[in-house]
Amino acid sequence: MKVLVTGGAGYIGSHVVKVLARAGHDVVILDNLGEGHRRAVVSGRLVVGDLNDRPLVEELLAAEKVEAVIHLAAHSIVPESVVRPEKYFRNNLVSGLNLLDAMLASGCRYLVFSSTAAVYGEPERVPIEEDHPTLPTNPYGESKLFFEAILRRYEEAHGLRFISLRYFNAAGADPEGELGEDHDPETHLVPIILQTALGLRSAVRIFGTDYPTPDGTCIRDYIHVSDLAEAHLLALNALRAGKHSSIYNLGNGEGFSVREVLQAAEQVVGRPIPAVEAPRRPGDPAVLVASSERAQKELGWQPRYADLRVIISTAWNWHRSHPAGYGD
Ligand code: UFG
């Protein structure tokens, strides 16, 4: 199938492209390289461009005869979205609309959308199922929730079919060592811990120690990026097989606190990692843990790297061999 992956040079996108290409799909990547990396493109054909450039998007979809789109291009830093909501709404909504309209114009009707656990906000109950109330605590989560609403309306009006994948905390790196996580600035817990272990940072800051959790730090459900990537392939296959539009949570169903992640990383690297306590970070819910039963049942999704230490080990292998990331 001819598949367009927006944001395919980014952390999750590059892993998705690898899985799709390996399954025999013909992949075109659209990425403005604002956050992605040319060196993260190990298969498929990269077109450097922006979703804001509507004529480019329209031309690309038509010229390439794209049959399905996997849409990952977005801004995704929770604390930044709190202070710069306009950036998140413009990019995640307006650029997304350009894509949808270009899809309609070219007759492309299948979309897999990269959504997030941040749509739920502070959950009333965990593990979180897909029909849990959605009350995002930050503009990032809100932008993704609004886009899901747009997708439903485009389905009703125009017959677009979509699967929205609500990721919990993506972590880890390609087990074959080709791809990894390189953000600038880095804000995510696992890479920050491992960069500290490498001596690239002086200490990990633990954001908030007074949350209503057993050790006072935030609990998250960490999911291996290659397991996430696999779910996109399954979603694409499901749409092609005639599946109706749906939303799926993707996580391992087990939560770990910031302190527990730090301890697991210390076991993986085999030495203590310096950490200091710091105030809460704005926009962070206390606990996010997924129920992914629906994805398992309906898509046949089975995580292969569910163990937190395995997730961290794959990331550690990459960071050790790429201390400067992709080096661009
Ligand atoms: N944290 C620290 N110190 C750090 C970095 C993070 O204590 O230096 C804490 C955060 O406060 C949070 C946890 O570690 O409690 C995880 O933080 P991340 O920044 O790694 O991930 P988030 O949970 O904020 O966000 C990630 C993705 C979002 C997605 C969200 C859904 O970045 O896109 O998961 O849970 F929406």
Distance 115 CA to ligand 1 centre (A): 15
pLDDT in tens, 298-309: 999 999 999 999
Check whether residue 236 and residue 270 sit in a common domain.
no
Check whether residue 16 and residue 112 sit in a common domain.
yes
Global pTM value: 0.98
CB of 128 closer than 6 angstroms to any ligand 1 atom: no
Check whether residue 210 and residue 314 sit in a common domain.
yes
Domain interval for residue 315: 189-220+253-321
| Integer Cα distance of 201 and 253 in angstroms | 31
Q: Is residue 184, in this structure, part of any structural domain at all?
A: no
Q: Is residue 157, in this structure, part of any structural domain at all?
A: yes
Q: Is residue 90, in this structure, part of any structural domain at all?
A: yes
What's the gap between Cα 315 and its chain centre? 15
Contacts of 61 (CB under 8 A, 6+ apart): 4, 69, 102, 103, 105, 106, 108
Check whether residue 132 and residue 156 sit in a common domain.
yes
Q: Is residue 181, in this structure, part of any structural domain at all?
A: no
Check whether residue 240 and residue 109 sit in a common domain.
yes
Q: Is residue 119, in this structure, part of any structural domain at all?
A: yes
Q: What is the pLDDT of residue 328?
A: 81
Cα distances from 28 to residues 76, 95, 204, 206, in angstroms, run 22, 18, 37, 39
Domain end (from 250, 266, 290): 250
- Binned at pLDDT 50, 70 and 90, residue 197 comes out as very high
Distance 294 CA to ligand 1 centre (A): 24
Strands (E), the chain: 2-6, 26-31, 45-48, 68-71, 110-116, 161-167, 169-171, 204-207, 219-220, 222-224, 246-250, 256-257, 275-278, 287-288
- Binned at pLDDT 50, 70 and 90, residue 283 comes out as confident
| Integer Cα distance of 201 and 180 in angstroms | 18
User: Is residue 282 pLDDT above 90, yes or no?
Assistant: no
CB of 218 closer than 6 angstroms to any ligand 1 atom: yes
Check whether residue 67 and residue 165 sit in a common domain.
yes
Check whether residue 106 and residue 197 sit in a common domain.
no
Query: What's 280's domain CATH number?
Result: 3.90.25.10
pLDDT in tens, 219-269: 999 999 999 999 999 999 999 999 999 999 999 999 999 999 999 999 999
Check whether residue 154 and residue 267 sit in a common domain.
no
Residue nearest atom 14 in ligand 1 by C-alpha distance: 189
Query: What's 81's domain CATH number?
Result: 3.40.50.720
Total count of domains within the chain: 2
Check whether residue 299 and residue 313 sit in a common domain.
yes
Q: Is residue 37, in this structure, part of any structural domain at all?
A: yes
Q: Is residue 270, in this structure, part of any structural domain at all?
A: yes
User: Is residue 325 pLDDT above 90, yes or no?
Assistant: yes
Check whether residue 140 and residue 26 sit in a common domain.
yes
| Integer Cα distance of 149 and 113 in angstroms | 12
Check whether residue 202 and residue 161 sit in a common domain.
no
140 has catalytic annotation = yes
Q: Is residue 194, in this structure, part of any structural domain at all?
A: yes
pLDDT in tens, 29-76: 999 999 999 999 999 999 999 999 999 999 999 999 999 999 999 999
pLDDT in tens, 111-163: 999 999 999 999 999 999 999 999 999 999 999 999 999 999 999 999 999 99
Check whether residue 152 and residue 200 sit in a common domain.
no
CB of 166 closer than 6 angstroms to any ligand 1 atom: no
In residues, how long is the chain? 328
Mutate which of 12, 186, 189, 259 for ligand 1? The one with the most ligand atoms within 8 Å of its CB, which is 189
Mutate which of 145, 168, 281, 288 for ligand 1? The one with the most ligand atoms within 8 Å of its CB, which is 281
Q: Percentages helix, strand, coil for the chain, rounded to the nearest 5? A: 40, 20, 40
Q: Ligand 1: which atom is nearest the Cα of residue 204? A: 8
Contacts of 133 (CB under 8 A, 6+ apart): 120, 124
